Structure 1
Amino acid sequence: MAIVQGAEQVKSSIRAVLKAPHLAAFLPATMIFAYWYGGESLMVLVAILFPGLLAIGGAVTRPATASPRRIDAVTGLPKRDRLLEHLDRGFEPDAAFEKSCLVLEIDDFEKLTQQLGRAGTEHICRTVSDRLRSALRESDLICALEAGRFGLSIDKRQRADLEATLQLAARLQATVSEPISLEQTRVLLSSCIGFALPGRAPGASGDALLAAAESALSVATQAGPGSIRAYSNGMAPRVGRVEHNREALLRALDEGQIAPWFQPQVCVKTGRLTGCEALARWQHPTMGLIAPGAFLPAIAKAGLLERLGEVVLYGALSALRDWDREGLTVPTVAINVSAEELNNPCLSDKIRWELDRFDIASSRLVVEILEDVITQTEDDIAIHNVNALAEIGCKIDLDDFGTGNAAIASIARFNVHRIKIDRSFVTHIDSDADQQNMFSAILTIANQLKVGTVAEGVETHAEHAMLVKLGCDHAQGYSIAKPMPAAAFPEWVLGRGQNQATEQDIPKLA
């Protein structure tokens, strides 16, 4: 590295001489000398060679420009290899400062992409990258690691200890969370940050430091949106993104590696348990817990969404039956149904058969359908399935409400039981007046239509308190509980000092 930097300095010095204005003064004198020494023919030769030599010298000493492959096309930021080079410098013996590494990731970025489209998320990434650049010093570096994820190399000054880095991470999160205007709408983001200090890195290299920061980020994302984590020796090593093939996915589904975990839903006013949602999770035997965003797209691509739906339905009803046997009353369990499943003519019969098999009342099964599915479907089979499930007594929840274009008429058309208000309307609701006004408008619509409301992604107690004030019915999110395996659910319920949900805690809906 030092040799390369020395060569660059020599090239820079030579180029400075070649570009100096006084060099042009030598050309007339050289011409006169050539004519006096060798006549007209030598003068012509020098007139040709002199500019050519200058051009060759300029080309040879031209500073290296960054390859387009090393620049992110969306944000204009350098990529991972540039970050590694910058971090490596902090480990050199003559380095002025050590380097700390932070990795910031926008929460729920894949869901954001589905909602805003490619152009919208690219605008988000450019805005976030500009904000992060403005929050850093000139000596620091920000790079684009992948869509929605940024790596930062920070000079570790004298007082840049753990506390100072935590404060910096919080400031960066605050910068990202400021509203972003997009096509006359406001987008509110949150982000997770993992960081590693050079003294804690598992190796004295930029790659080891970045790997440590990404390991910390993985722990942060598991802790929930808006989390910050520092690397420690006990953390699992970074695992790169893996393309899961169809055979591996089928094996995981068949062997129970992919199974439903359950996230509680509670009455906002009383805090009593009113149900739970079954969410697919993959506990890999060697890779550990794999994030849903890392395997659900692969399942969709492999055409296994219906198989996943069968696994989740079976696991959800099995858990409900086991909880009943233990004397634990969980009023309802919700499952997500994809567009592919809705287009299966046998879906409603399959669910009815499973309910009979486990001897569970149909009213205890909630079927969640994305707002976009209801908006876009004109398929008679999908409409039949939704209506057939409602007729047998299953409750229909409209998921991610507010992110699509579902007309109010669609809510009545599909006999919707509740609307699940998307997390984007809940974020910062405790401090943002516009969020409160928007949320209140949604509650007004729900009240007029006599449907219940569930706030998704409630991450703080302050947000929960505001939901009580505004009059939301139910809440779900990390401030209440993370998704957990079926075996851990009873312990969570009993730990709250309750072993059943009373009827008055569950709103009576028409």
Structure 2
Amino acid sequence: MKNDRCIVDGRAAAMLGYTLDELYAASFEWRGMVKPEDIAGMDAALAAHLADGSRSYEAEYRMRHRAGQWIWVQSRGRVVERDAGGVPLRMLGTRMDISARKLAEAEIAHLAFYDGLTNLPNRRLLLDRLHHAIAKAARSGSHGAVLFVDLDNFKSLNDTMGHDMGDRLLEMVAFRLTEVTRETDTVARLGGDEFVILLEDLGVEQQQAMGNAAAVAGKVLDSLSCCYVLEAHELRSTPSIGVVLFGTEHHTINDLLRQADMAMYEAKAAGRATFRFFDPHMQVALAASASLEADLRHALQRDELRLYYQPVVDAAGRVTGVEALLRWQHPQRGLIGPGEFVPQAEKSGLIVELGQWVLEAACRQLVRWSEDADSARLTMAVNVSARQFRHAAFVDGVLAVLDRSGADPRLLKLELTESMLVAEIDEVIAKMTTLKAHGVGFSLDDFGTGYSSLSYLKLLPIDQLKIDRSFVHDMLLTRHASSIVRSIITLASSMDLDVVAEGVETREQWSALEAFGCHAFQGYLFGRAAPAAELALEHGKAVLPGDDVFCTHKEAAPAAMLDLSI
């Protein structure tokens, strides 16, 4: 190593597009083939290894291929010979072409901040920009505005013309929104048919700012109300828009989005196809939230909560586990899905108690299933909210539930969301590691839709990634979505992680996912969420509605009906 001479074999030469003879005939200088900006990191990794021989050398950098492009290389090695003075003489190692993995990482990293369908900023990027806009307005005295845009009757379009047409419309809406706003404005998609526009520098005077915001809202209204031509069909769709100003007063991000949302519903109540500014009198809606919270507390006391279970199956259609899903059996309103009460529980902090109840109920069900050979090995996935996970007593609470119930921790899988990785990563890792040591598994839910920090991902003791249903839905419709699904599966494979595809509704999706290398699936094709007593389990196979027993051959399985009530 004193002369920094590098000797490679034929495979290393071929990786760069050369034969071994060609490479040595060219008198190559290996450092000269490394991309200049990567040399510092490579040298730092080498210096760390030389300073501490117990640590292996490992670095990732780019090298110039014979054809001219850069390829990513993973280099690993260790000093194997030193002189009497301890000076390194010889080092052995390997190089691996990781270009495909890096490409997959880049595609997934893009999803951290941009919507996969429209390529607009997603919620995370919007929140970041809104945070800076609020601070800037407070300093400069200039007003800004948030416009909440919701498409009228979008669900009817999806139901009558199909999701593919709905997605095409959303793409056209995104394009029109960017056409009528400034480059300095932010147009983001929150999800579904909800878009948010962030306007800055609208003027120091409130009336001037209100006039400028109204002008933009009018342009959006006119543009989105124009006819859409989709595959020879002429469609008309109008938006309802809520507008809220912000300036030097104290504002929080959640308040602004909630107020813009309230104003949008006022626009819908006014007949749709219009816009409304937020009025402080709309705060009466908060009373309804307080009422919901009170009802929810009673629900815990009166045993009104229920767990439903949706099967997870393997490539042969055999049920290998379930995901526990929360429902509320309201005495007046009937069965309520989590979307109607979990956000309020999150906001109020009641989610910690709800989460504990879910964990208790899920573990008791695991114990009951352990008494039957057909269900004894079923795994149980339980969703954990960010607020619940960050609670100081979370780890002790999980271990206490396992101890009280007698459930096998190896069958329990806690599903985390990517939002948990935003802050306090060391604490996250510590909690996961503690539970992992007791046998509890971890799954990263809705992977790719939020904060996909790949540098953190490799540090976390994750067992499984769950591909979000939106990608599964789109993968047969767009090459972009198909590439994302492929990339996630490739990334998981390279990190020795299991993958579950959510939202599988058709045999075509199932077959495509299998071809991509996915081996676990969840969705209406294999079964709807149901109470434990109604969950169809027979010799480890799922039962579809209307069938006797789910066939292990996909050709024999009928298409499942999509139940939007779940």
TM-score (norm 2): 0.48
Residues 314 and 413 (structure 1 numbering): CA distance in 2 closer, same or farther, change over 3 Å? same
Partner residue of 1:349? Answer: 396
Q: Is the 8 A contact 2:386 2:419 kept in 1?
A: no
> Which residue is 1:309 aligned to?
355
SS in 2 for 1:427: helix
Which shifted more, 490-499 or 170-179? 490-499
Name the one with the larger helix percent.
1
Gaps of 5+ in 2: 1-120, 130-147, 179-185, 194-284, 553-566
**1:170 aligned residue (160, 164, 169):** 160
Q: 2:418 aligns with which of 350, 371, 375?
A: 371
The corresponding residue for 1:485 is 531
Indicate conservation of the 8 Å contact 1:419/1:454, yes or no: yes
| 1:74 equivalent in structure 2 | none
Higher strand share: 2
Q: Kindly provide the amino acid, as one letter, of the partner of residue 160 in structure 2.
A: A
The answer on whether the counterparts of 2:383 and 2:416 sit within 8 Å (CA) in structure 1 is yes
SS state of the match for residue 400, structure 2? helix
Matched ranges for 1:87-236 at <5 A: 114=123, 117=126, 148=150, 150-151=152-153, 169-171=159-161, 173-178=163-168, 180=171
Deviations 1:468-510 (A, max 9, x none): 11111211122222211122124586663889x9xxxxxxxxx
After superposition, what is the alpha-carbon deviation per residue over 1:26-71, rounded to whole angstroms, capped at 9, x for unaligned? xxxxxxxxxxxxxxxxxxxxxxxxxxxxxxxxxxxxxxxxxxxxxx
Q: What SS is found at the alignment partner of 1:479?
A: coil
Relative to structure 1, the CA distance from residue 265 to residue 361 in structure 2 (aligned partners, 3 Å threshold; closer, same or farther) is: same
Query: Structure 1: where are the runs of 5+ without partners?
Result: 1-111, 121-145, 153-165, 192-239, 502-510
Match of 1:385 among 414, 420, 431: 431
Report what 1:247 is aligned to. 294
Give the drift of 1:306. 0.5
1:48-63 equivalences under 5 Å are none
Aligned to 1:288: 334
What is the aligned partner in structure 1 of residue 482 from structure 2?
A: 436
2:402–2:409: 8 Å Cα contact kept in structure 1?
Answer: yes
Instruction: State the Cα distance separating 1:415 from its structure 2 match.
Output: 1.0
Quick one: structure 1 residues 299 and 468, their matched pair in 2 at CA, closer, same or farther if it must change by over 3 Å?
same
Q: Identify if the C-alpha distance between structure 1 residues 409 and 487 changes in structure 2 by more than 3 Å, giving closer, same or farther.
A: same
Distance in 2 between residues matched to 1:190 and 1:167, nearest whole Å: 13
Aligned to 1:264: 311
Amino acid at match of 2:152: F
Deviation of 1:118 after TM superposition, in Å, equals 7.4
What whole-Å deviation, never above 9, does each CA across 1:107-137 have from its counterpart, x for those lacking one? xxxxx985674799xxxxxxxxxxxxxxxxx
1:424 counterpart = 2:470: yes
The correspondence for 2:368, drawn from 315, 319, 322, is: 322
Q: TM-score if structure 1 supplies the norm length?
A: 0.53
Q: Which amino acid aligns with 2:390?
A: N
Distance in 1 between residues matched to 2:514 and 2:188, nearest whole Å: 24
Query: 2: CA distance between counterparts of 1:408 and 1:380?
Result: 15
Amino acid at match of 2:382: I
Larger radius of gyration, structure 1 or 2?
A: 1
After superposition, give the CA deviation of every residue in 1:78-131 in whole Å (9 maximum; x if it has no partner).
Answer: xxxxxxxxxxxxxxxxxxxxxxxxxxxxxxxxxx985674799xxxxxxxxxxx
Mapped partners of 2:509, 2:349: distance in 1: 38
Residue 441 (structure 2) aligned to one of 380, 388, 395: 395
In structure 2, give the amino acid aligned to 1:287: R
CA RMSD in angstroms comes to 3.7
- Cα offset for 1:464? 1.6
Question: What is the aligned partner in structure 1 of residue 459 from structure 2?
Answer: 413
Residues 345-402 of structure 1 show CA distances to partners (whole Å, capped at 9, x for unaligned) of: 322222112112222221100011101212x121654332122111211111111111
Cα distance change on mapping 1:115 and 1:457 into 2, 3 Å: farther
Once the two structures are TM-superposed, the CA of residue 186 in structure 1 deviates from its matched residue by 12
1:297 pairs with one of 319, 330, 343? 343
% same residue: 29
Task: Assess if the C-alpha contact under 8 Å between 2:126 and 2:188 holds in 1.
Answer: no
CA–CA separation in structure 2 for the residues paired with 1:167 and 1:396: 38
CA 1:490–1:377: 2 relative to 1, 3 Å: same
